[in-house]
Structure 1
């Protein structure tokens, strides 16, 4: 069936007879109207899809943020030691690594929607196990399961969003992944102030419980449908996403470094801040960190398709390096200053400012942009395998940071942040040498660049 006829058939369930605006090919005004309307329809359709998919990274963020407000209560209630709790916190990363290994293959064989349904089940079970845990075994099992689920989501959601988003809005929409993650962290911090740790775990079930039925109202990824040879389904999905006025013929023809960035993203030490903020600061500062991260990531949502990915990464890693130097020096000097002195207060404030600047820097680039670039640079023929490896690198790095953070902070706060400073400086070098600009380029243009 010709594509034009398919478009007419697709319109029928949505439009009343005679209400369709017919474009006059000789009229520039009609062409402009139709083009604008198509872009608006496409943005609305994709926005609805992204709004649903945002529940996945919200779940991810809730998992990250859960350990910060609950550390003292869980240790006291279950009689854990600090190393045992650190292991509990890090086990989500172990589960995440397993999920990352198979995430690409699952997304390859059963599609993006099916992957997210599968990922939701262990998440729900994991949170329930934590909520009803009376010993350390159930606590660990629950953490592993929820980590496994978000490990699959951490690859699938940004790739899914990149697949369905229009080229000019791709960076903005993929940035929603990181924005939603920070909202999840913020929710865990905020709700953790008011409810005890078992109830907080029950609340962790909600994002996936809503996501699973909502997925049935979303179209499958057009790129995945095309790759699987489902031409008719592919064109229908793409037409629905782009709007019925849109000419998708050129995009139909077009659709046929992430490891380093995602590793450095975690080794920068950001998860040490997010998992154990209460260990470093008090509740007010913890909530402040969460709030600042949400606001800064929201700014990135607007900048990703304007300033460029590479520039944001350089600014981000540079700001993080500077702020970590400030934090490290503050902690070093604090050790030699009396606690009741005015200088000690000033140094403590400087440390908090440094951490907040680090969070802003991370949220402006090193947090969201690696996921955008990963979804853009991987060739279709190896996307599932390479995406899994890149996501695995991210989870492995996150596990190393979260496992060692408490122990390193007990050893030396200044020394801990010095290590993270060196890694962020390496990130600046890595981005300057290796990372290309992908803003405004089609997937095919990016592949030609690498060839």
Structure 2
């Protein structure tokens, strides 16, 4: 049985990457965890991390020898993967529901823009509280808290008769999504599964529950697995973390962190200002203006997203982060230009309906190839571990603030000029391409010294 289950180990790694790519808000990098991979991938690549000279780990992430992907681990991973459903529902439903909400509650476009953008406001609140919440309550309890936010949010939206309650429901959903992206929580309809999955072994050890830590780790790895090497490494890492002083966000604003902050903040801004919230929250509006059936548009878009996300899983390790980011930025620029050109033709009474789906499809294929997830990966690799939590909170906050700006202003921009709106998005993507070429290092397979030298040569 153990041998057969060990066959699941490579697919589980791929599944983890799918989850990372599908999550709309990738705050996974905020966690103070140590993961498998190359030594270079685990060390900070833009800041010399002199505080952890003795830190090391096995190449397989501490899972040595007899450890296999047990049935329980497979179950826990599958349950964790359902988090994308919750976030997807909360983000995506506002677009097809737009006209129904406007009619039922007699909302103005300005009021609906507030409703659409409240998700991002909740995200900013959740970004500030996610780390402390997970550290204090543990990931499993935090998942229950997340479900409370989602349930209350959906109930407020479902039974509302006034706009402020609608906005409150959207706000609660935003908080839930931000927390979800940190702890990899689950879709509300799978909340019963929380009874059967364990608390994080690292959290148990951190809180002094050593017996439970070993029991949970043994259960995850299998009864016959030798967990001694992995347990020893986790304990060593936990002791190392305790020796580090906990940094606050303000501690990031030092000269030694200037370069990684520029790179991380620039990529977080690119993720949103390239147009994602506008496309996502108001896709129905785009299809209607373009004269395309919303059902056909959404089916096509879903297929495109699945295929492009699957492609990204296999391409990221082959071509590297920086290359995919450049391709992604160039592609989103092209997609936005095609969409803008479509509306330009509409203004002159010419029409090519297939161009609408083509432009949107090019945008999302390109976005999912790189901009969707790679910024979070790079962010997790360029900061030392003692500031990674603070850096993650800062990046999360900027990510959500950028989302709020784009989602709130999108309808107003469309009223101003449909063509101009997407040309602006294309311009941001073009700037992101240049930003990546000039400032973003390739972190895959490179040593700290190589990254430092390349960034120094560019900035000086």
TM (norm. structure 2) is: 0.69
Measured after TM superposition, the shift of residue 295 of structure 1 is 2.4
RMSD of equivalent CA atoms: 3.2
Aligned pair count reads 358
Task: Determine whether 1:116 maps to 2:146.
Answer: no
Check whether the contact 1:55–1:207 (CA below 8 A) recurs between aligned residues. yes
1:275 aligns to 2:281 (yes or no): yes
Report the Cα distance in structure 2 between the residues aligned to 1:358 and 1:230, rounded to whole angstroms: 48
Conserved? CA contact 2:84–2:187, under 8 Å: no
CA distance in 2, matches of 1:305, 1:230: 37
User: Which among 223, 226, 230 is matched to residue 248 of structure 1?
Assistant: 230
Q: Does 1:416 align with 2:421?
A: yes
Select the residue among 316, 320, 329 that pairs with 1:317: 329
Unpaired segments of 5 or more residues in structure 1?
1-34, 161-205, 339-343
* Aligned-partner Cα distance in 1 for 2:408–2:302: 21
Distance 1:140 1:319 in 2: 34
Which stretch shows the higher mean deviation, 49-58 or 432-441?
432-441
Please report how far the alpha carbon of residue 234 of structure 1 lies from its aligned counterpart in structure 2 after TM superposition. Answer: 4.8
Q: Which residue of 1 aligns with 2:406?
A: 401
Structure 2: distance between partners of 1:225 and 1:450: 36
Matches within 5 A, 1:8-407: 38=66, 41-42=68-69, 46-157=73-184, 207-211=187-191, 213-225=192-204, 233-234=212-213, 237-238=216-217, 240-242=219-221, 244-245=225-226, 247-248=229-230, 251-252=233-234, 253=236, 256=240, 257=260, 258-281=264-287, 282-283=293-294, 284-336=296-348, 338=349, 344-346=350-352, 348-407=353-412
Deviates more, 1:297-306 or 1:352-361: 297-306
**Secondary structure, in 3 states, of the residue corresponding to 2:98?**
helix
TM-score by length of 1: 0.70
Q: Deviation per CA, 1:9-40, whole angstroms, max 9, x where unpaired?
A: xxxxxxxxxxxxxxxxxxxxxxxxxx99846x
1:129 Cα deviation after fit = 1.0
Q: Distance in 1 between matches of 2:449 and 2:73?
A: 24
SS of 1:68's equivalent in the other structure is: coil
1:192 paired residue number:
none
In structure 2, C-alpha distance between the alignment counterparts of 1:241 and 1:431, rounded to whole Å: 40
Deviation at 1:43, TM superposition (A): 7.8
Unaligned runs of 5+ in 2: 1-62, 241-259, 288-292, 454-460
Maintained 8 Å contact 1:376/1:446: no
Stretches (4+) displaced over 4 A: 35-39, 43-47, 222-243, 253-257, 375-378, 438-441, 445-451
Q: Residue 427 in 1 paired to residue 458 in 2?
A: no
Moved more, 88-97 or 309-318: 309-318
Contact preservation (8 Å) 1:266, 1:398: yes
Contact 1:57-1:153 within 8 A present in 2 as well: no
Q: 1:55 to 1:413 in 2, by over 3 A?
A: same
The alignment partner of 1:298 has SS state of: helix
Report what 1:173 is aligned to.
none
What is the Cα deviation at residue 242 of structure 1?
5.0
| Structure 2 equivalent of residue 172 of structure 1 | none
